[in-house]
Structures are given as structure tokens and as C-alpha cells.
Amino acid sequence: MKPKNVVVLMGGVSPEHDISIRSGNAVAQALRDAGFTVSCIDVKDEKIDELDQRETDIAFIALHGYFGEDGGVQQLLESKGIPYTGSGVSASKLAMDKLAAKKCFAETGLQVPDYVAVTEFQELSEIQHEIMRLGLPVILKPTRNGSSIGISIVKDIAHLQMALKNAFEFGYEVLIEKYIKGRELTVGILDDKALPIIEIKPAMEFFSYDAKYKDNRTEYLILEKTSGTNGKRAAYSFRESGFLIASLYDEAQEVALHAHRVLGCKGFSRVDMLLGEDNKLYLLEVNTIPGFTEKSLLPKAAKAAGISFASLCKKIVELAFQPALVSVNEAIQD
């Protein structure tokens, strides 16, 4: 079946509503340019009754965060018998839960920063004890959120309470990671293949919401492979922006593809990681519905691979009709 009528779902009920609107509008125009008949729904609730009145061959999910990346809208679409883009219910749910995903990564041999999970029901002194065990500085992240919303870096324990308050606004559970100083890398996955690696050079201390969407000084570098001697490998690979030693470049793409498969993702994703000063790669997370704005990283990586934005969106629609891969996690359970 070749889909013709595409409904783009955007907006949504999460704090990432505005970013989703931008993504959805860009996708809708790209799909029209690719020859599809496109309509859009600004999702206001978790029922999306408008779908019942639309002729829909496929839903393109451009929803971020809650009821977008967490399996909720995927489950609704399956109940209505509507095919959709991207990963399925279980993979979406697993990837959205940063704590569950990290456990899955660690169990399959992927390296992640040291971490601990805390809840708003714990005493501050207990949380402080866990942080001191990790060692400052640390990064605080809501376990189920995206777009770097609610994230803080804590270098001084005196600033912990404010950072916790900020993170707990988006859920009762917070992931606390050991801060890794290094280069921020992201690897797009399309059709079970790794795209060119992008290095993120935020104008701020880390890739926060403001650095992503408000600060035009943030740089995005398409990395090139380079050779290097073992003796200079660590210093060179850590400091040299725009280039990455071939062995590390290949390893980063392999790590990204492994993470994508471990969670059982389908079609596309974006995998974030750090290259530490110790020259090791630390996996951070897998984004099953990365952004599709003018600053978004998956379209940038696809363009570096010679894939236009319209072709990328068309490919994502076509991939939705291919059988899903079985995740490593599901294979282990079977």
C-alpha cells in the first residue's frame, strides 16, 4: 500500500507544545512538496476525536514529550487501526523513561554515566548523600521529559534544592547523572542505518532548552573522520572540533545503532552521547521523535547524507509500512 492521505499530529498536551507545532508545520509542508495530501491536527487532548472524521492512510506523529513519545498516542492510533510513523508503543514508552532506558543500556553492555534516581518523597539529606556518592558536579533531569526541559547542572550542593524544585515540576522522579566533561555528539538513525555524526557546541554550559531554541550562538558541526596516532588519540579526539578519529567515529555510530535496536525503535531516532576527556563514549538517551524544526538535528544529519528534508519525511512515511524489528530487550525476554 502506498499512503496518500497523511494526517500530521502536532501540538499536544506536554510542555513541548510550541516546539511540536513548529515541527508539525515543517513536516506538513515537506510532505506536500513530496506529493502527499496532508492535513494537520493540533492535538488538544488524549482522545483526538478529529481522527474519526478524517480519511487517514497514515498519521505522522510530530508530538514531543508526554502523549507523543511515551507510547500514549501510539496506543490510541493502534486502537483506531491507523498506521503511524516511528517506533511502537513499547519502544516509545521505554525510550521516554530515562531511568528504564539506562538500565536497559547497561544490561546490554552500553556505557552510561554513573547515575541515581530520586523522588520528591525522599528527604533532602538522603538525596544529598546520594549526590556526594556520585561526586559533584551532577546533572538533574526529569525522568520523563524532552527538549532539555527541567534540566540543571549542580556544582555546589547549596544549589541543589532549587534544581530539585525545577526538575520536580515535571514529575515526581528525577534522574541525577555524574557530569561528564566532553564533546556532545548526536547520531541520527534512519532505516536502521547511522547518519553522519553532529557535534553540538552550545553557547551555554550545556545543551539546555535555551541553547537549543533561543541562543543563535549554539553551533552544530558535521564531523569528518580523520586518522590519528594512538599516542595522540585522547587529546586530539577530545579537543579537535569538526573532526573525529575514524575508530571513534565508527564506534559512535555503532553505539547509536545498538541503542536504537536495544529499545526496539523503528524507522528513525536520534541518539545522544558524550565523548569524555577519558576518550570514552557515554550514551545519554534515544529520542524516538526528535525535532523537525529549522534547528533540529536529524534533518541536519540527513542533509549531510544527501537526503533533503522532503525526502526524509517521505522516507519516514514509507518506513512506517515496513515490519518492526524485534528489540534486543524483547529477544532476551523471549
Grid cell 525476554 is found at 333
Task: Of 327, 261, 313, give the one whose Cα is nearest residue 61.
Answer: 313
Q: Let me know: does 319 contact 309? Beta carbons within 8 Å.
A: no
Q: Please say if 166 is a catalytic residue.
A: no
Q: Which of 65, 188, 267, 291 is catalytic?
A: 291
209 annotated active-site: no
Cell numbers 555524526 label which residue?
A: 197
DSSP 248-267: HHHHHHHHHHHHHHHTT--S
Examine the residue annotation and report whether 254 is marked as an active-site residue of this protein: no
> Which of these is catalytic: 20, 147, 269, 296?
147
- Contact status, residue 132 vs residue 81, Cβ threshold 8 Å: no
Pair type for strands 173-178 and 115-119: antiparallel
Active-site residue, selected from the candidate residues 11, 12, 14, 16: 16
Q: Which of 213, 250, 276, 308 is catalytic?
A: 213
Tell me which residue of 254, 234, 238, 241 sits closest to 200, measured CA to CA.
Answer: 241
Out of 287, 296, 327, 329, which one is annotated catalytic?
A: 287
Catalytic one of 69, 173, 199, 285: 285
Q: Is 213 a catalytic residue?
A: yes
CA distances from 95 to 65, 88, 90, 92, 311 (A): 11, 11, 9, 5, 26
User: Known catalytic residue: 70?
Assistant: no
User: Does 285 qualify as catalytic in the annotation?
Assistant: yes
Label residues 9-25 b or e (16+ Cβ within 10 Å = b).
Answer: bbbbbbbbbebbbbbbb
Q: Considering 23, 261, 270, 329, which one is annotated as catalytic?
A: 270
Active-site residue among 179, 272, 327, 329?
272
Query: Which residue numbers are catalytic?
Result: 16, 147, 213, 270, 272, 285, 287, 291
